[in-house]
Structures are given as structure tokens and as C-alpha cells.
Amino acid sequence: MGKDVIVALDFANADQVFGFLDKFTGRKPFVKIGMELFYAEGPAIVREIKRRGHKIFLDLKLHDIPNTVKKAMSVLSNLDVDITNLHAAGTVRMMEAAIEGLTRPDGTRPLLIAVTQLTSTDQEAMENDLLIKEPIDQVVMHYAANAKKAGLDGVVCSPLEAGKVHATCGADFLTITPGVRFADGDIGDQKRVMTPAAAKEIGSDYIVVGRPITAAVDPVAAYERCVADFCD
């Protein structure tokens, strides 16, 4: 898969999602389904969005004992999503079990991506709450290296970290980066942002874009602008 813009479907229910997706009569965006929507609507919404011709990143961030994650991943692989994810903090063994569960009998599987440290976790929280004393950027790179060792395809990271992840884990190791904003747009609650063009420059493989598209007056035009700046 090449570079693409993934639209975060951060909506509360199916009506809102389809009201939004119905606007896209041309190119069908790659979309991200997160916990809120999945827990509200269940697997049916994944199947319906797939049926409409969208690629899907199912962002459920699994983290449990290896056997449970393996079985859950096996269920998710039947949903025929294109990308799914887990927490690298679950250990290399958990990530290896996830790959096993995700792999279908014919050997194919969705791409599997790791979350390293959430961007909501800062150095202070990591040290005080998790008792991890190393610098956070080292922790992020260590988790990325663990994900690669376990056979995963990439990590979710800030666009600011994408270059270093590629330097550490190789150019083929995918970086999926949220925190993208247009230069003339509202940054909202994101702290460290980058434009689609800058994310392309630094080597992000996929950008995840929510509100700059979903809250735009013309979401289709905002999406096309992202695609033009990032992919073309």
C-alpha cells in the first residue's frame, strides 16, 4: 500500500457516519474506525463501510494476555479490515501472538501497527505512574523496535517522530501519523502538529486526519486538499 490519507471517523453513531460518507461520491477515503463508533455500532458498521468500498483502519488498540489477543485478532481478521493495531506495551510475546491470530489460513492478514506511548502520556506520567525512568523518545523507539522484532508492520507516531522511526526500524516500517493540520487551520487540542505537505516531506506513510476534514464546511474539498498535499 502506498501513501494515503486516512480520515478518522470520530462520530458517535452510524447515522452521522453515513451522513458524512455519502458526501464522497468520487474517491472513497481510507477511514479509521475507533472505539467509540465500534462499541456503539459493533462489527456491522465495519462490514457496511467495507461494502461501500472504503479501506478501513480498525483502531481498537488491543492489550491483554497473548492468548486473548490472539483470539480477538482472529475475529478481527474475519472482518477483512486493512489495518488494525495494539499496544506495544503488551510485550513482544503478545505482539507475536497477535500476528498469529490475525493471519488467515491462506497466509494473508491485515497490516498490524503498534501504538508506542500514547501522546497523552508525558515524561512525568511515565515516570510517576508507570515507573519508566528512561527518556520518552527512547521508550518510543524501543517499543517501535520491539514491534518490528515481533513482525509488525509499523507504528502510530507523531509526524515529528516518523523520520527517526524509519532511521531506527527501516524505511519499509510504516509510520501512521495523526496530529495533522492545514497551515491556515485550527489546531484544536493537538499540541504538536504538522501540515500534510510537511508530513509527506518527513516520510510519514499514512496521515490520520479527523477534524480538519470532518468539521470542514466542505469535507470533500478538505479531503481532496489533503490528498493533493500528501499523496500527489
**CA 4 vs CA 29, 54, 132, 133, 208: distances in Å:** 9, 12, 34, 36, 9
When binding is defined by CB under 6 A, the residue of 190, 197, 224, 231 that contacts ligand C5P is 190
- Tell me the pairing of strands 30-33 and 206-209: unpaired
Residue 183 DSSP label:
T
Shortest-Cβ-distance residue relative to ligand C5P:
210
Q: Using the rule CB under 6 A, give the single segment among 15-23, 101-109, 163-171, 204-212 that binds ligand C5P.
A: 204-212
Residues 140-169 that bind ligand C5P (CB under 6 A): 156
Residues 26-45 that bind ligand C5P (CB under 6 A): 34
Catalytic-residue membership of 61 = yes
C-alpha cell, 44: 456491522
Per DSSP, the three-state class of 23 is coil
For ligand C5P, the closer of residues 103 and 119 by Cβ is 119
C-alpha cell, 126: 511515565
For ligand C5P, the closer of residues 102 and 208 by Cβ is 208
Query: In angstroms, what is the minimal distance from the CB of 209 to ligand C5P?
Result: 5
Between CA 89 and CA 92 the distance in angstroms is 8
- Give residues in contact with ligand C5P (CB under 6 A): 8, 10, 34, 118-119, 156, 178-179, 188, 190, 208-212
